[in-house]
């Protein structure tokens, strides 16, 4: 799966997290794991304990 396809797959989940929903989210890749969301110094890391897929990055707009 390409990086663009990954972003499309995860977009709804990222939108939910940006809206403040951080629990009860299911992995968009395997549809089985409840996602684990960890705050990092410069963003967040979202991990599926079932399939081990993850995404990480800043949820804030880039500062110029």
Nearest-Å Rg of the Cα atoms of the chain is 12
Work out the pLDDT band at 5, boundaries 50, 70, 90: confident
Sorted by where each begins, the domain ranges of the chain are: 3-57
Is residue 46 within 8 A of residue 37, CB to CB? The reply is yes
Q: Read off the pTM.
A: 0.79
pLDDT of 12 above 90: yes
Query: Helical H runs in the chain?
Result: 3-18
Is residue 29 within 8 A of residue 48, CB to CB? The reply is yes
Q: Length of the chain in residues, anyone?
A: 64
Arithmetic mean of pLDDT, 24-46: 93
pLDDT at 37: 95
């Amino acid at each position: 799966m390409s990086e663009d396809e990954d972003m499309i797959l995860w977009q709804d989940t990222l939108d939910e997290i940006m809206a403040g929903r951080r629990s009860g989210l299911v992995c968009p890749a395997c549809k089985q794991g409840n996602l684990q969301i960890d705050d990092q110094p410069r963003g967040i890391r979202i991990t599926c304990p079932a399939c081990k897929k993850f995404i990480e990055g800043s949820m804030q707009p880039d500062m110029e």
